[in-house]
Amino acid sequence: MNYYSLNKQAPNVSFKEATILGQAPDKGLYFPSNIPMLDQQLISCMNDYSKEDLAFRVMQPYIGNDIDEASLFTIVSEAINFDFPLVDINSNIASLELFHGPTLAFKDVGARFMSRCLGYFSKDRSNTITVLVATSGDTGGAVANGFLGVEGVDVIILYPSGKVSPVQELQLTTCGQNITALEIEGSFDDCQSMVKEAFMDEVLRKKMQLTSANSINIARWLPQQLYYFYAYQQWADKFNPPVIAVPSGNFGNICAGLLAQVSGLPIKHFIAACNINDAVPDYLRTGRYQSKLAVPTVSNAMDVGDPSNFIRILELFKQEFTTIKDCISGYTVSDETTKETIANVYQQYQYILDPHGAVAYHALDQYLNNYLSQKGIILETAHPVKFPATVEAAIGRSIEIPESAKSLLGKGKISIKMPANFNALKEYLISR
């Protein structure tokens, strides 16, 4: 499998090269040269496969010969070695819980997969690979955990000061070893902009091997397809595929789901569920895309005004607006509605949503009101304990803290404060 830059001004590369580079030299995102089509036998007999076998079969065509089959099976097995239960909330809506990994967030899969791929590739390299990543919340913790102690790889995480939850901040600032947290005095979009500039800076590119662990990196993005296979594997009515609502910020998750659908996975329709940072729902309403300045919300992982992965969605559907609109509906959900949804779902069904899941739930509920014969799934992307102030106020009680989070409490964060300025980041990287 080869990968090409969406800016079309850089050479095609292998999976290995695309993973190490992160972003193409012409500033474009990498995209697979062809979409592998699923074997119909795999779809019809999906329940006969283990999670590990299914993950291997889905991912292998994207990796090709860059990783031998035995090593790839080990990598995918370690990336998905926790549960992905599909839990009924009511008779029409189920929740695919993606928060049972080590950092209680869906990004654990991609971060673990990518870290193990880079560890595999770094064995034959003499220089250290530096992973530079921006986070709006969950990416940072997942990347820190996934890469902790990986030989030949240093990780530098940029996060917006005061705009991530307490648990999220502890997850990315308390690791030590090869993990460094930079606390940026700005927004997530500022962090992401600084990272993108670093990749394009000639001085930095000559001094160090930089790559990204955001979903702009194919090794972080592609494994997110697996969520949708595990959802369908557990879906009871195979003759009536689900509508799937995805909490969407940088649009890597929903883009991976669309990739799975295009490759042949039966999914009825997608819902891009956004908070008021809704550049893509606006596009779906008007046909015109316009980035926005990010606005802080209670669903902070979706506070993205210019989602990087939207260009991959455009590429996947060959820029055809009508086709995109047929596959995706966009919804905008306010903070007030998000909080009301958490409260109402808990009161009616005793199910606790996190703010991102609540955005997805409200959007899916609104959609199903117009399509009464259909049923759907929300992706519950983070454990509610990551957002205690919002969730506990809505449900009227405290949330039980999972064991994996208890160990963080009482730890002191270690971060380096930095202005939202690329030159400050460049000076720091050169001086390391």
| DSSP SS3 for 73 | helix
Secondary element (H or E) of residue 210? strand 209-211
Residues with Cβ < 8 Å from 248, sequence gap 6 or more? 254, 272, 273, 274, 280, 302, 307
The alpha-carbon radius of gyration of the chain (Å, integer) is 20
Both structure tokens of 295 = 């606005």
Report which residue type is found at 328: I
Residues in the chain: 432
Both structure tokens of 83 = 């549960």
The DSSP line for 141-162 is HHHHHHHTT-TTEEEEEEEETT
CA quadruple 420, 197, 416, 118: dihedral sign: positive
| DSSP SS3 for 95 | strand
Report which residue type is found at 330: G
Rounded to an integer, what distance in angstroms lies between the CA atom of residue 23 and that of residue 206? 15
Q: Tell me which residue of 99, 88, 84 sits closest to 348, measured CA to CA.
A: 88
For the chain, the distance separating the N- and C-terminal CA atoms, rounded to the nearest angstrom, is 35
Q: What count of other Cβ atoms lies within 10 Å of the Cβ of residue 39?
A: 11
Rounded to an integer, what distance in angstroms lies between the CA atom of residue 54 and that of residue 60? 10
Q: Which residue among 16, 27, 51, 107 is the active-site one?
A: 107
Rounded to an integer, what distance in angstroms lies between the CA atom of residue 300 and that of residue 164? 7
Residues with Cβ < 8 Å from 405, sequence gap 6 or more? 104, 167, 383, 385
Across the beta sheet with 30-32, what order do the strands follow?
Answer: 13-14, 2-5, 30-32
| DSSP SS3 for 315 | helix
| DSSP SS3 for 30 | strand
C-alpha atoms less than 13 angstroms from C-alpha of 206 in its C-beta half-sphere? 3
123 in active site: no
For 201-334, where are the alpha helices, taking DSSP H only? 202-207, 218-221, 225-234, 252-262, 279-286, 310-316, 321-327
Q: Tell me which residue of 255, 325, 260 sits closest to 287, measured CA to CA.
A: 325
Which are the catalytic amino acids? 107
